Amino acid sequence: MGELRSRRSVLAVPGSNPRFVEKARGLDTDAFFLDLEDAVAPLEKESARETVVKALNDGGWEGRVRSVRVNDISTGWAYRDVITVVEGAGAHLDTLVLPKVTAARDVHWLDTLLTQIERAAGLPVGRIGIEAQIEDAKGLVNVDEIAAASPRLETLVYGPADFMASINMKSLVVGEQPPGYDVGDAYHHVLMRILVAARAHGVQAIDGPYLQIRDVDAFRRAAGRTAALGFDGKWVLHPLQVEAANEAFAPSQEDYDHAELILDAYAHATTVDRRGAVMLGEEMLDEASRKMALVVAGKGRAAGL
């Protein structure tokens, strides 16, 4: 997990809209993707590819993970999305987001196609990563094989809107609890399933969008919940959501400082004193405490704390 890139905030940008693309350049997100899928109307799908290629080649995305979301493999658009974008801008692209992944074979298809294009275009083979959206019942059932499908895989991304539709959830508000379900968190199983599969295979777990874009407090609560579980970041749809995501998926300064203190104290205890357990104030530390502290410290260092 160590070398994976920071993705606290992942900005969704409609690939057919040059004005939104221009705006996205100025936003302080860890990552972004130019969308060719659900934010692009069918009649715009083909021209959007050129807009996306130009946006990547024009640059101005320094320090961010640069992605494109292609259409899903059941459509007639997917293969040409991949070919046009990677042939046209492969050197300026870090990952492709594959939506509606239902099985490992979807990822294999993209992996193979990417390798062919990289070879033909003289690009380094294997550099472009894959992000797999888990957003229907089949995808969730097969999430373990999807997480293990390719060394290119960098993230599993929860797609709440499509997922809610896929299971016939009786709700129209993405990310909020379905009305009438008052006995817990209706999403807990889905989120944990994705998170555990991601961790088991050393990839990141990213939470999907929150569609009530003007309600920043509600976004903050939603992001806070998945950050608390262990997710690495969340999609953002609007400038208002960016800072809230960056904050939610980084530890607080206090937790970060405490994590570094634990690491120092435990390193001293195990090496100088040769002890496996030690007290730090009122707290007993052992090897598992070190691992927990390392997670928090790692996220804090990545966030520049």
Residue ranges binding Mg ion (CB under 5 A): 135, 159, 162
Q: Which of 209, 233, 251, 300 binds ligand GLV (CB under 6 A)?
A: 209
Cα 113 to Cα 52: distance, rounded to the nearest angstrom: 19
The reply to whether 162 sits near ligand GLV by the rule CB under 6 A is yes
What is the smallest separation between the CB atom of 45 and Mg ion, expressed in angstroms?
A: 15
Pick the binder of ligand GLV from 88, 139, 160, 300 (CB under 6 A). 160
Which range binds ligand GLV by CB under 6 A, 15-23, 52-60, 153-161, 284-292?
Answer: 153-161
Query: With respect to ligand GLV, which residue has the nearer C-beta, 135 or 154?
Result: 135
| Dist. CA 250–CA 233, nearest whole Å | 9
Residue 106 binds ligand GLV, judged by CB under 6 A: no
Q: Which of 129, 208, 251, 300 binds ligand GLV (CB under 6 A)?
A: 208
* 175 belongs to the binding site for ligand GLV (CB under 6 A): no
Considering the complex, what minimum distance in angstroms separates the CB of residue 99 from Mg ion? 5
Q: What are phi and psi of 208, to 5 degrees?
A: -85, -160
15 scored as a contact of ligand GLV (CB under 6 A): no
| Shortest spacing between CB 91 and ligand GLV, in angstroms | 27
Total of residues contacting ligand GLV (CB under 6 A): 9
Binding residue for ligand GLV (CB under 6 A) from 135, 136, 176, 207? 135
Q: Using DSSP bridges, classify how beta strands 204-207 and 233-236 pair: parallel, antiparallel or unpaired.
A: parallel
Residue 155 contacts residue 132 (beta carbons within 8 Å): yes
Q: Of 94 and 162, which CB lies nearer to ligand GLV in the complex structure?
A: 162
Q: Which is nearer to ligand GLV, 69 or 290 (CB)?
A: 69
161 binds ligand GLV (CB under 6 A): yes
Rounded CA separation 116/114 (Å):
5
Cβ proximity to ligand GLV, 235 vs 266, nearer residue: 235
CB of 79 to Mg ion, least distance (A): 19
Nearest CA among 119, 13, 99, 16 for reference residue 60: 13
Q: 300 touches which of Mg ion, ligand GLV, none (CB within 5 to 8 A by kind)?
A: none
Q: By CB under 6 A, what part of segment 20-79 binds ligand GLV?
A: none
> Length of the chain, please?
305
Closer by beta carbon to ligand GLV, 118 or else 176: 176
Residue 111 site contact among ligand GLV, Mg ion, none (CB < 5 to 8 Å, cut-off depends on kind): none
Question: What type of residue is 160?
Answer: P
Interaction between residue 207 and ligand GLV (CB under 6 A) = no
Write out the residues near ligand GLV by the rule CB under 6 A: 99, 133, 135, 159-162, 208-209
